[in-house]
Amino acid sequence: MQILENRDQWLAAFREGWLAHLQTTGEYNWKLYQRPRNSTAPAGPGVDLRNSRLMLISSAGGYLSDSQPPFDAASLLGDYAIRVFPSSIPLRDLAFAHEHYDHTAVNEDPQVLIPLRHLDNMVAAGAVGELSPSMVSFMGYQPDATRVVDETIPLILKVAQAEQVQAALLVPS
């Protein structure tokens, strides 16, 4: 199963429509953007969360303010990198670099987009086996779906495989 069906057609429409307009005018025109549409949703077998190692993945653009560079939130084309940090991190050590959502709620309570302490409670209650040692964050503004498939997803998979996770929770921003 392909993560991005009709990749070549999607990329051509992206380049000739939305991206060409952005490069010509410097303006976003989301009416020109064609969201990828798959006929089959990528899926895998179900897992018993009570016996699984879960990795939190967030598109909030979170990073460690004292040791990691922020995402390039001002980039018109997005930032396709990831940041990895310990799941045990105090939430006060996080900052957020993402210009495509309102930060009011996450500034008041980072758990709205990085629910690590809630997940700790689920582990304590037996609903989740354990959290992976690390979590992954990326900046969710990534308009080029081919770059997500070619760059962002492989980076996330590498971390997930290294930490032997059986399940992931994606919290979109």
Same domain, 53 and 22: no
pTM of the model: 0.92
Same domain, 38 and 54: no
DSSP letter assigned to residue 51: G
Q: Print the domain residue range for 16.
A: 1-43
Nearest alpha carbon to residue 82 among 154, 3, 168: 154
Whether the Cβ atoms of residue 128 and residue 50 lie closer than 8 Å to each other: yes
Same domain, 28 and 62: no
Nearest alpha carbon to residue 5 among 39, 46, 52, 49: 39
Same domain, 102 and 139: yes
Query: What is the pLDDT tens value at each position of the chain, 173 positions in all?
Result: 678 999 999 999 999 999 999 999 999 999 999 999 999 887 788 899 999 999 999 999 999 999 999 999 999 999 999 999 999 999 999 999 988 888 788 888 888 899 999 999 999 999 999 999 999 999 989 999 999 999 999 999 999 999 999 999 999 98
Whether the Cβ atoms of residue 137 and residue 82 lie closer than 8 Å to each other: yes
Same domain, 18 and 75: no
Interatomic CA distance for residues 115 and 152, integer angstroms = 21
Greatest alpha-carbon pair distance for the chain in Å reads 54
